[in-house]
Amino acid sequence: MASRRRPARPAAETLDDITAIQQRLAHGVQLPGIPAPRTAAPRMDAMSPQNKASYGASDQNTRGVSGKFLVIGIVGVLIVAGVFIWSQWRNSSDADVTASVAGFSDNEDDSIMMNLDVTRDDTSKPAYCIVTAMNFDKAEVGRREAVVAAGGNENTRLQIKVPTREQAVATDLYGCSSVFPSYLDDSTTTED
């Protein structure tokens, strides 16, 4: 197969010849033996009619659809966060039953007596508190639920005997509530 050779270009011999060629090219004059300069194709806008016809794009703005989903997503996240914050606030607001340890006495090898002051907002509802006994290393060695039956005074002092598995040196309050677990009888006050 015969190879094709390009015709030789005329060599510019002087600086004036080069300048003249540059001026002619700048004004669009085609020189013999020199290919015409390539011009960039006109840039087509993403939403131009040519692109819409070629690619089947609709007249609807596609960025608006994703923007709508973004707004809906943000509003949904804000609603979920608001419900979560409200429920946490509701569950952690002031308790209807509070108590404080008022001392302990008569600690034996297998039990300890403690005094617990219980305050209820609504005396028509029963309440209960969980108390613990601790050894010298502050490890829990005993636990008991103490019930305050409905009625009575707003402030009640209970004397509670907490059974222990070894000698206890202190007592503590774990917590109180007016919502009873199923295994606990709410009809009588715990008194030992």
Q: What is the CATH number of the domain that holds 172?
A: 2.60.40
Alpha helices in the chain (DSSP H): 15-26, 49-55, 62-92
Residue 52 lies in a domain: no
**Residues 66, 26: Cα–Cα separation, whole Å:** 47
Residue 10 lies in a domain: no
Residue 101 lies in a domain: yes
Burial class (CB in 10 A: 0-12, 13-18, 19+), 55: exposed
pLDDT by residue, tens only, the chain of 192 residues: 556 666 555 555 667 777 777 777 666 666 666 666 566 555 555 566 666 666 665 555 555 567 888 899 999 999 999 999 988 887 776 668 889 999 888 778 889 999 999 999 888 888 899 999 999 999 999 999 999 888 888 998 999 999 999 999 999 999 988 888 888 887 776 666
DSSP H or E segment with residue 171: strand 170-177
Residue 110 lies in a domain: yes
Residue 82 lies in a domain: no
**Residues 112, 81: Cα–Cα separation, whole Å:** 46
The DSSP line for 136-161 is: TTS-EEEEEEEEE-SSS-SEEEEEEE
Report the number of distinct structural domains present in the chain: 1
3-state secondary structure of 97: strand
Which residue range is the domain that position 133 belongs to? 97-177
Residue 24 lies in a domain: no
Size of the chain, expressed as the number of residues it contains: 192
Whole-model pTM: value is 0.52
Residue 120 lies in a domain: yes
CB 124 within 8 A of CB 151: yes
Residue 12 lies in a domain: no
- The residues facing 133 across adjacent strands are 142, 171
Across the beta sheet with 97-105, the strand order is 97-105, 111-120, 155-163
CB 128 within 8 A of CB 184: yes
Query: How large is the C-alpha radius of gyration of the chain?
Result: 45
The DSSP line for 100-125 is: EEEEEE---SSEEEEEEEEEES-TTS
Burial class (CB in 10 A: 0-12, 13-18, 19+), 97: buried
